[in-house]
Amino acid sequence: MPTGSYFSPEVETLGRSDLDALIDERVRYTVRYAAEHSPFYRQWFKDNNINPVEVREHEDLLDLPIVSGKTIREHQPPLTQEFEFLSTDWNSVFSIQETSGTSGTPKGFFLTWDDWKRYAEKYARSFVSQGFSEKDRIVMCASYGMNVGANTMTIAAQRIGMGIIPLGKCTFESRILKWYKPTAIVGSVFKLLRLARRLSAEGVNPADTSIDKLVAGGESFATESRAYLAELWGVPVYNTYGSTEGTMCGECTQLSGLHVPEDLVHLDVYDPRMESFVKDGECGRAMLTTLLPVRGKSGMLLINYDTEDTTVVLSRERCGCGRTHMRIANPEREAETVWAFGNPFNRTDVEAAVFQRESMEYITGEYEAVLFDGDKPEEAVLRVNLECVDPARCSRKQVEDQFVARFIKYKPLIAEHYHEGSFRIEFNFTGLRGLDLHIAKGRPKRLVDRRKQ
């Protein structure tokens, strides 16, 4: 992508001092708006002895309490009569959205049309940073519905001038690629991997199609699985991260972290174990604050909201693409992290061990992992189920050795217990579609902790 290709160049390339000044202006306005229009925040400020007028800059947010998804659920039906986070009149609500509810009762969200335009602005910036233009046609494999992703990206594509093929799923017929010659597909890594396998089974090489880039989103993924996906399709794979709460961030062609649209959403990183915010370069949970432009309105805004996703601020320096907005590491779900012998590991750590290049000659990449108690106290067993292309020809020992070497490489305490025998890794190999995830409803749970202790 040539430097200078931006959706909103005047904001995306704003110098750090000017960008910080803009952020502070919007922090002041957003906090005042919350105090005036949100029943929840009006009471929240009183309960926590916060004078909204004294919140002057983004550093002041660090002194405010944390709000969580649990907080939202506690201030909406059925626990309350009204949706207390609603921050506009009902006549101004353009749409009502919900989260998936995978971690509890779905959270209700209210978007004005201005909210939708700001959401779409975030994705439009990401698309352009990834080389998209009015010449592109995108197959949208993200689902349309109560989540905002697919609809937001569709609006973003319209603003850029791109064409959309709104399928909503990756189970479409291969003729779609042949007839309409789309240039990109948006979907999760595993949806795109399955599509590639299906095309290959039909005698179609994914790399020979009209697709020249892929956008992966919907869940975190390992660097190794992304690299394998890019190899199968022969195109770059770009990362996006978004949520109904408004955390739309995207990778540019530099592939050096996801740009945070800092003028529209403020992001801090918090360590709940230490109960403090951390410095750049340290891992913690992403805390977001909605930023409204002066005189802007919102159906529902959030201040110091715990996304329950972990990330790291990689840089606030100007990126090689010319953008000045901060970059973060690919966020991981805290709910997909378990601890063993003082070391945390995430689902993506298991995924990285699965997608070792030598192993991919024998397995599809589909996996499930379950952590059990061992036979003795202070023992643990990680059981990994892997799907084989052909179980009769699978070099199981090679796959196992590759997995173990990668998995314990960056986990010194787990590695110590593995070599001592108190942490065991067991493997089970199945044929195609032999894993439970193929019959389970909803998003697959690829790492489950079933220890009783």
Residue 438 belongs to domain with CATH number: 3.30.300.30
The stretch 74-96 carries a mean pLDDT of: 97
CATH code: domain of residue 116: 3.40.50.12780
Q: Give the per-residue pLDDT at 244.
A: 87
Q: Give the per-residue pLDDT at 3.
A: 40
Per-residue pLDDT of 207-243, as tens digits, reads: 999 999 999 987 889 999 999 999 999 999 999 998 8
Residues 322 and 262 in one domain: yes
pLDDT bracket for residue 273 (50, 70, 90): confident
Residues 42 and 167 in one domain: yes
Q: Is the pLDDT of residue 382 over 80?
A: yes
Give residues with Cβ within 8 angstroms of 277, minimum separation 6.
62, 268, 269, 270, 271, 284, 287
143 vs 245: CA distance, rounded Å: 17
Edge-to-edge strand list for the sheet holding 265-271: 276-277, 265-271, 284-290, 305-311, 332-333
Residues 107 and 68 in one domain: yes
Residues 33 and 176 in one domain: yes
**Cβ(116)–Cβ(153) below 8 Å:** no
Residues 51 and 29 in one domain: yes
pTM of the shown model: 0.94
Per-residue pLDDT of 194-203, as tens digits, reads: 999 999 999 9
Provide the mean pLDDT of the chain. Answer: 95
**Cβ(303)–Cβ(62) below 8 Å:** no
Per-residue pLDDT of 117-173, as tens digits, reads: 999 999 999 999 999 999 999 999 998 988 898 999 999 999 999 999 999 999 999
Q: Is the pLDDT of residue 371 over 90?
A: yes
- Please say which residue of 279, 298, 329 terminates a domain: 329
Cis, bond preceding 78 (omega within 30 deg of 0) = yes
| Total domains in the fold of the chain | 2
Q: Is the pLDDT of residue 1 over 80?
A: no
Residues 223 and 270 in one domain: yes
Residues 436 and 287 in one domain: no
| DSSP labels, 338-380 | EEETTEEEEHHHHHHHHT-GGGGGTEEEEEEEEEEE-SSTT-E
Strand 363-373 and strand 380-388: pairing?
antiparallel
Domain range for 133 is: 1-329
Q: Is the pLDDT of residue 443 over 50?
A: yes
- Please say which residue of 291, 312, 329 terminates a domain: 329
**Cβ(296)–Cβ(114) below 8 Å:** yes
Residues 347 and 256 in one domain: no
Q: Give the per-residue pLDDT at 219.
A: 83
Q: Is the pLDDT of residue 2 over 70?
A: no
Residues 188 and 313 in one domain: yes
Residues 360 and 273 in one domain: no
Residues 369 and 318 in one domain: no
